[in-house]
Copies of this chain bind each other. A is one copy, B any other.
Amino acid sequence: MPFNSVNRFEDAEHEALMGVWWSGVLLRQIARRFFRDQTVAESQFNVLMALRYAERALSQQDLSERLLVDKSNLTGLIDGLVKLGFVRRFREKRDRRFYRLKLTGEGVEFLEKLEPAYLELVHGIMNEFTPEERTRLTEYMVRLQRRMEQWK
């Protein structure tokens, strides 16, 4: 899909999409490195954040949809977070098919400790843009995502 550098393939649409692709690749790389020396991996951090900022207690299925990760992965990911004491699974009485996942106090504490460094990284990258540009970029990304969801 990529090939950023030399692009004799003169197609502006393609070039733009490659830009997004490429930015995503770089972002993943940076994230991986950031989390290398952390207690949790990037994928587990994603779970913690999703749980923290969700409007209600989520199931693994919910997480799967929000994080765009297959539900089968979440079993192990959450096992790890439970073992770390950051998350607990609560069986639902009314419907014993699913769990409600909740962050523990330690989980919240952990996120709060990590947040400053994380935000510093994010801001360090994003202050490339003016507030107006940032707004426009966000808008573009929302539209792009909506468009791409039609291919799912």
Contact = CB atoms under 8 A, between A and B. Distances in A.
Interface of A: 1-9, 11-17, 19-31, 33, 42, 45-46, 49-50, 53-55, 66-68, 119, 121-129, 131, 133-138, 140-145, 147-149, 151-152
A121 B147 CA distance: 12
A9 to B, nearest CB: 5
A66 B147 CA distance: 28
A143 B129 CA distance: 9
B12 A21 contact: no
Given A6-B55, A20-B141, A27-B24, A147 B125 contact: yes
A20 B29 CA distance: 14
Nearest to A28: B24
A96 to B, nearest CB: 26
Given A30-B151, A148-B125, A137 B24 contact: no
